Amino acid sequence: MLNRLRPQLKLFIDPIAKRIKINPNILTIIGLLISLLSAYMFARGDLLLGGIFILVSGLADIIDGAVARNHAAETPFGGILDSTADRFADAFILIGIIYGGSVNWLIGILALHASLSVSYVRARIEVEGISGSVGIAERAERLVILVAGAFLSVIIGSNYFLALAVILIMVLGYFTVLQRVYHAWRQLKKDK
């Protein structure tokens, strides 16, 4: 859903990316390390800094791809590294939230499973030559939900909204998996 904003975001990010002279793979690793800081903050119970570091990590994730595109530095390895770093970042952040006690461990683990499954199903669909970019809760949406939950919890003074955000990620994640599997089934059936 947020992918629809990419053209507008590109107008803002591309001029910045053109000035950055760092290997995009280094930016990917920096984004991953920032997500570790987010996880650490959540584990300590600092929801404000946890949410802020998610935003900074997400910005690094956007910029690494823009730098690669703008400097003709896109490589298959860069794509693999970026996808892998994204999965690790998602896992670290949710593990930090679980460890910090903001959500029941079972709900947290199911949210983590749902998040990883969304990405896995997309990759598997695309192996079959079908676009896997369908569904209500892609990575950007899940991160926005977590940030909103963290910030609302800080404002209200309770972990309630962060816990609700994790539950929402779990539900929407599994729903997105179903959407993608159904999409693949329809496409493969049509191609027969």
| CB 90, CB 139: distance < 8 Å | yes
CA 56 vs. chain centroid, Å, equals 12
Which of 61, 86, 90, 191 is catalytic? The answer is 86
- Residue 136 is classified by DSSP as S
Q: What is the largest CA-CA distance in the chain?
A: 55
64 noted as active-site residue: no
- Residue 138 is classified by DSSP as -
The residues annotated as belonging to the active site are 86
